[in-house]
Amino acid sequence: MFELSVEEKSKVMEAYQELADSLSPSISKTNKELIWKAYNFALKAHGNERRKSGEPYILHPIAVAKIVTEEIGLGTKSVISALLHDVVEDTEYSLDDIENEFGEKIRIIIDGLTKIKGAFDSNSSLQSSTFRKLLITLSEDVRVILIKLADRLHNMRTLGALPRKKQIKISGETLYLYAPLAHRLGLYAIKSELENISLKYQEPEVYRDLNNRINHTEKISGHFLKKFIEPIKGKLDEQKISYDIFGRPKAIYSVWHKMKTKNIPFEQVYDILAVRIIFKPKPGIAEKTQCWYIYSLVTDLFKVKPDRIRDWVSNPKANGYEALHMTVMGPHGKWIEVQIRSERMDKIAERGFAAHWEYKTGESVEGELDKWIKKVSDLLQSKELSDIEFLEDFKLNLFESEIITFSPKGREVSLPNGATALDFAYEIHTQVGHKAIGAKVNHKLVPLSYKLIAGDQVEILTSDIQTPQYGWLDIVRTARAKSAIKSAFKDQRKKLIAKGQKDLEDNLKELNYRPNSSVFRKLFEEFDLQTKEELYLKLGREIVTLENLKKILKKRSKKKQVKFWGLELFSRRTEHVNEDTDSNSDDAFILREDQEDPDYRLAKCCAPIPGDDVIGYTNPDTSEDIIIHKSNCPIALKLISSQAESIIQAKWTAHKVMAHLVQIKADGIDRIGLANDLTSAISKQLDVNIRSMHIESRDGIFEAELDIYVHNTDDLANLILSISKLKGVESVKRVEKT
């Protein structure tokens, strides 16, 4: 039955040996034997099975088990469960077999893992309902989630063996769910690796480019770092502190994320390098005190930036992270971040949750995590919410940092940063939320939208005649408040949608129109909407009216108005070159420029242009157009994770006719004649047209916003290049819509 070649067998044996070597040296003989037994069980169960890469399947569970012990720091039960995690799903063995061999606890963990089987191993993808199940098991045994993360990490590390379509799907999911989850559980190293690999597959070119730039920065800053670190070492040695100090570059994904969210070029990300000091605490003195002592040694040497001190020693993050961060002015007038951690804090930072078990010092950290798990299970109780809504709300909570506020009687209420008085009300009780009319914060009357800050004492004022308001959804931040308000509106919403639909159908009938896709396209364009549901709802609420229906229907689609630019329409044609999904992305949807009426449209959120990396979304409920998103668009990532079966690969053919609007921003040193040079650079380039240009100049610095029509990303790249060559121009970039 076991038909591996001799080389393969020795490769498997080697992998197991590495796993055995990575186990804690203090592990008992019995436990070692149990792990060996689990390995042999898995080996027999998976038999001749192979991974997509052609490797023996058993290498996967071994690798997952190694991550579980080495990188997360979990114990024997978890290692056994990791070895067996794919057995029940993929082989003839059942949960009963597992229980007979390894006991009930292992059965429960394997059962959890089997239930939440993700995209890689099977053909389905991680759906929101699956995710909900995943969280239910989290509240039962957090090890299930930790092993699942290890499984995902190994699948990401070996993603190269899969077809492009799956790479995009899986890395999208990872970015959307698994990385935030790792963050929430405090597994920073894993979170960061998941993000980096995802970026590598989502945006290969961006990744390569940033990787090169960061390596380069690291090389040239070796000397700089030495100059910075040497004096600090001197001080630490003088104080007989035992420590480790080193510079480390920011993760590629973090750099990219910063550039995107702050809309800045690479050169302006000033904290590419951080210096970390990890010290061995002296006995008898609190670690917190020792952190601040080192802080003061560093500030004796370098000037600190007061608004960039982060004290997670006094108040650990909700996920358990502890450290003291500061930013100081280093040599050559460069800001540099310094992170101070004890050895224990460092371990927690790397391994997250699991490390807490190892250091059962204060109850506070574990308490924080327990509180969070409790919140998740509360949220799971709200059964009225659909899975997708649940997922959305839950996602909101993953990245939040927390503040502590107080009730009038001094009860602690922890809320995400940015939470309002109304969130506080819902945190106390759903009914308090529904009936809230205002609040007193520190004895002062404030509206419900008031943003709380840490330490606020909050009293909620209620009224029996109050009911939840629509606008409240914009005010609240917590998943709990959102879901409470949404479920209150659920019924009302259904009625409004029905009313809106009937209203529209009656009106169309009167004008002798049928509700077909061309009618909806015109209505969507008119009211700037994306879905029928939105349209019905807005009609139901009388936010939009059909007064001008006749006129709207007579209007020519805006797409046709683009003919002003001397351009023509395009259309798509599906080309199923190959039905075999594993033959790479050959079955991609082809986006063509053509004469016919298109049945795909470009998403407004991210406004892709030909040449961008894109995916297509088909709404399963309607037969509407396929919507084309950039593959890195946040909305696309959401769709990939929640409705992967509706996502199709899309590819551009050469686009040379139709023009697309993009926005470019440029800045630099202002000078006479600059506007002129900009316009002439644009007009000199064929295939590009300018729609508008806006230049603002202040204190000798200019900022220009240009709305440009281009055919594709090549045009755009050429244009950016020629603008960047103009005298005085510092940076030019495309404005990415999000």
Q: Are 243 and 232 in contact (CB under 8 A)?
A: no
Stretch that binds Mn ion, among 83-91, 357-365, 370-378, 426-434 (CB under 5 A): 83-91
Q: How far is the CB of 121 from Mn ion (least distance, A)?
A: 5
Tokens of 637: 């990532």
Tokens of 671: 């000078």
3-state secondary structure of 624: coil
- Could you give the CA distance from residue 460 to residue 176 in angstroms, rounded to a whole number? 35
> Interior CA angle at 111 toward 105 and 116, to 5°?
135
Nearer to Mn ion, 84 or 664 (CB): 84
Distance, C-alpha 639 to centroid of its chain: 13
- Could you give the CA distance from residue 147 to residue 558 in angstroms, rounded to a whole number? 51
Q: Are 46 and 326 in contact (CB under 8 A)?
A: no
Q: Which 86-105 positions form the footprint of Mn ion (CB under 5 A)?
A: 86
- Could you give the CA distance from residue 729 to residue 727 in angstroms, rounded to a whole number? 6
Nearer to Mn ion, 86 or 670 (CB): 86
Q: How far is the CB of 85 from Mn ion (least distance, A)?
A: 6
Q: How far is the CB of 154 from Mn ion (least distance, A)?
A: 7
Nearer to Mn ion, 86 or 111 (CB): 86
What positions carry a catalytic annotation?
Answer: 89-90
Q: How far is the CB of 629 from Mn ion (least distance, A)?
A: 29
3-state secondary structure of 35: helix
Q: How far is the CB of 87 from Mn ion (least distance, A)?
A: 10
Q: Return phi, psi of residue 434, to 5°.
A: -60, -35
- Could you give the CA distance from residue 527 to residue 103 in angstroms, rounded to a whole number? 61
Residue 455: how many CB atoms within 10 A of its CB?
Answer: 10
Tokens of 119: 């995209």
- Could you give the CA distance from residue 431 to residue 434 in angstroms, rounded to a whole number? 5
Nearer to Mn ion, 151 or 402 (CB): 151
Nearer to Mn ion, 8 or 90 (CB): 90
Residue closest to Mn ion (Cβ): 151
Residue 571: how many CB atoms within 10 A of its CB?
Answer: 14
Stretch that binds Mn ion, among 79-87, 354-362, 390-398, 492-500 (CB under 5 A): 79-87
- Could you give the CA distance from residue 473 to residue 457 in angstroms, rounded to a whole number? 23
- Could you give the CA distance from residue 451 to residue 624 in angstroms, rounded to a whole number? 41
Nearer to Mn ion, 182 or 298 (CB): 182
Give the per-residue contact string, 36-75, with Mn ion (x = CB under 5 A; - = no): ----------------------------------------
Q: Which 201-240 positions form the footprint of Mn ion (CB under 5 A)?
A: none
Strands 273-280 and 335-342, how do they pair? Answer: parallel
Based on the shown chain and the rule CB under 5 A, indicate whether residue 368 belongs to the binding site for Mn ion: no
Q: How far is the CB of 538 from Mn ion (least distance, A)?
A: 45
Nearer to Mn ion, 155 or 712 (CB): 155
- Could you give the CA distance from residue 250 to residue 269 in angstroms, rounded to a whole number? 10
- Could you give the CA distance from residue 722 to residue 234 in angstroms, rounded to a whole number? 50
Q: How far is the CB of 155 from Mn ion (least distance, A)?
A: 7
Q: How far is the CB of 49 from Mn ion (least distance, A)?
A: 12
Nearer to Mn ion, 148 or 395 (CB): 148
By CB under 5 A, the count of residues binding Mn ion is: 2
Contacts with 234 (C-beta within 8 Å, 6 or more apart), sequence order: none
Based on the shown chain and the rule CB under 5 A, indicate whether residue 193 belongs to the binding site for Mn ion: no
Query: Which one-letter DSSP state was computed for residue 175?
Result: I
Q: Which 132-171 positions form the footprint of Mn ion (CB under 5 A)?
A: 151
Could you list the residues that contact Mn ion (CB under 5 A)? 86, 151
